[in-house]
Every structure is written in structure tokens, then in C-alpha cells.
Amino acid sequence: MTYAIIVCSRCNTAKIIETSKKTTTCFTCNKHLQIDKLTFLYTSNNLEKAQQALGLVNAEKDGRGEEFKTFLISKVKKE
């Protein structure tokens, strides 16, 4: 299964989708989105990596991208 990060064209909310689906609904504004018309910011076959990338996208939107990258690096070092 392939996962992708998309951003809602109405409210700018980022989310993870399964690329095999035809449509998705934004959980913030309820807009129905056609997946084949969306730009994928990131794709992966690994859900955990997609979740980390989504965290980075959201952190970047909040101006905290570098802080999130530091967090991810520290998490990897602990494992």
C-alpha cells in the first residue's frame, strides 16, 4: 500500500491518504477531494515514515520545522 501527504485546496489542512483510493474527504472542512487531481507532497509505502513526514509538514506550517527535525533525530538515536 502506498501513502501520500496531500493538502486540502480549501482549508490547507495536510493529511495522509492511501493512493489507491479515488476520493478523500478533508476532516477539517469536509471538502470532497479527487485524489487524481491532488499534488502529493510525499509518498511512501511505510505508514510510519508518512506520519513523520506529515508531522514535518505541519511543523513547517507552524514555523517549527527545525525543532521537529531535531526531535526526529533524537528519536532515531534512542532506537
Query: Using CB atoms within 10 A of its CB, is residue 5 exposed (0-12), middle (13-18) or buried (19+)?
Result: buried
Decide: 3 and 47 in contact? Cβ < 8 Å.
yes
For 8-26, how does the pLDDT look when each residue is reduced to its tens digit (9 = 90+)? 999 999 999 999 999 999 9
Distance from C-alpha of 64 to C-alpha of 59, rounded to nearest angstrom: 5
The whole-number average pLDDT for the span 49-75 is: 89
Alpha helices in 1-79 (DSSP H): 47-61, 65-78
Of 9, 3, 69, 65, which Cα lies nearest the Cα of 37? 9
* Global model pTM greater than 0.95: no
